[in-house]
Structure 1
Amino acid sequence: MEKLLRTVLVYIGLAVLLRLGGKRDLAQLNSFDLVVMLLLSNVVQNAVIGNDNSLTGGLLGAAVLVVINSLMVRLVNRHPRLVRLFEGRPTTVIRDGQVVSKALRRLGLRRSDVVAACRRQGADNISEIADATLSPGGALVVTLDEDHHDATIGDLRRENDRLLAQIRAELADLERRLTPPPA
């Protein structure tokens, strides 16, 4: 019972600490994040299993972590308020082609990292972006302004239909002009 309680408390404590630590940088761990994650696992090991170095103690701690995580994910995802509490809210980092510097400073992001992430999503330049939002999980969602959206197959079909209709109308007009009036 002690191992169960220890594991649950460590899980909750780490969840709170990671939430306070902020969003992951553009859904990627940088080298500092990796070092922290590796050290966190080592630091809390004894807090989870205590002085028990047995296989059963370790497996029990691991099983409790997997179960509590599964339960927490299901609980949190059912309630939007809990999602906001545990994960936070999306943060706009680019609006109308301009970087929101205050948001970058608060998130601890570098402009160059945001620009690179935007390029991976199809923006050649920040000025092409209507909105770029960093989600709580670290994913950057980029919305290009209307002039820089890629054409879809539907767009091409509509343009093709419009051009064909225009050509048919011009041919009908030309045929009407070239046909002599009936005598």
Structure 2
Amino acid sequence: MWFESWSDLMRVVLLGTAGYVTLVGVLRLSGKRTLSQLNVFDFVVTVALGSILATLLLSADVSWAQGAVAFMLIAALQFVVAWASTKWPAVRRMITSTPSLLLRDGVILESALRRSRLTESELRQAIRAAGNGDLANIKAVVLETNGTLSVISAQNFGDGSAVKDVESEASM
């Protein structure tokens, strides 16, 4: 249980190094999107890559070649889905959510918070983290498709063109 053999440890070291180098190579070839936090799909890709690396390291039944092919397959599928989502809006709607307005003109939108399963405390924390202390000075808080909260002050709102695609109960 604590130690089986030196050969098992050497296998982990060698395959771990080879798997790591292969993963970095695949990520460099596949582009920045593979590691981005743009939506749930991108998160799933990141988790899948980690799972493949863990399996490669710890399962004696998986060869380096199988791991390398799995890395390339996930990166290729992510590329295809990203390409399709830029070409066809229906695919984009299937894999990404839309941003949601949680606060408008200093007023917290309670129903939007409930739908997003967030609390007022979490919303206020994001506002404080953005360096604001007064809700009245906030024009909008948006729950982005990647789960982050964007806080837009009244001073920086401008013409509001950045929030035109935001889902809200009423337009801004």
After TM superposition, the score normalised by the length of structure 2 is 0.51
Q: Distance in 2 between matches of 1:54 and 1:96?
A: 57
Aligned to 1:32: none
Find the aligned partners of 2:89 and 2:135 in 1 and give their Cα distance.
Answer: 31
Q: Which has the larger radius of gyration?
A: 1
Q: Secondary structure at the match of 2:62?
A: coil
Q: What is the 5 A alignment of 1:33-52?
A: 41=51, 52=61
> Which ranges in structure 2 are unaligned for 5 or more consecutive residues?
1-39, 157-172
Instruction: Indicate the residue corresponding to 1:29 in structure 2.
Output: none
* Offset of residue 82 of structure 1: 2.5
1:118 alignment partner in structure 2: 127
Equivalent residue in structure 2 for 1:106, among 115, 122, 141: 115
Higher helix residue share: 1
Report the alpha carbon displacement of residue 141 of structure 1 after superposing the two structures with TM.
2.5
TM-aligned CA deviation for residue 142 of structure 1 = 2.4
- State the aligned residue count: 109
1:106/1:75 Cα in 2 relative to 1: closer, same or farther (>3 Å)? same
Instruction: State the TM-score, normalizing by the size of structure 1.
Output: 0.49
C-alpha distance in structure 2 between counterparts of 1:59 and 1:83, whole Å: 28
Please state how far the C-alpha of 1:52 moved relative to its aligned partner: 4.8
Matches within 5 A, 1:162-173: none
Unaligned runs of 5+ in 1: 1-17, 25-36, 46-50, 151-183
The answer for the alignment partner of 1:60 in structure 2 is: 69
SS in 1 for 2:151: strand
In structure 2, the residue matched to 1:157 is none
Percentage identity across paired residues of the two chains: 23
Cα distance in structure 2, aligned partners of 1:117 and 1:52: 46
Could you tell me which amino acid in structure 1 is paired with residue 115 of structure 2? R
| CA distance in structure 2 between the aligned counterparts of 1:74 and 1:121, rounded to whole angstroms | 33
Choose the corresponding residue for 2:82, options 73, 77, 84.
73
Structure 2 residue aligned with 1:153: none
With over 3 angstroms needed to count, the CA separation of the structure-2 counterparts of 1:84 and 1:118, relative to structure 1, is farther
Q: CA RMSD in A?
A: 3.3
Task: Name the CA distance, whole Å, in 1 between partners of 2:90 and 2:114.
Answer: 26
Give the secondary-structure state (helix, strand or coil) at the position aligned to 1:88. Answer: coil
Contact 2:126 2:151 in 1 (8 A): no
Instruction: Tell me the amino acid that sits aligned with residue 102 of structure 1.
Output: S
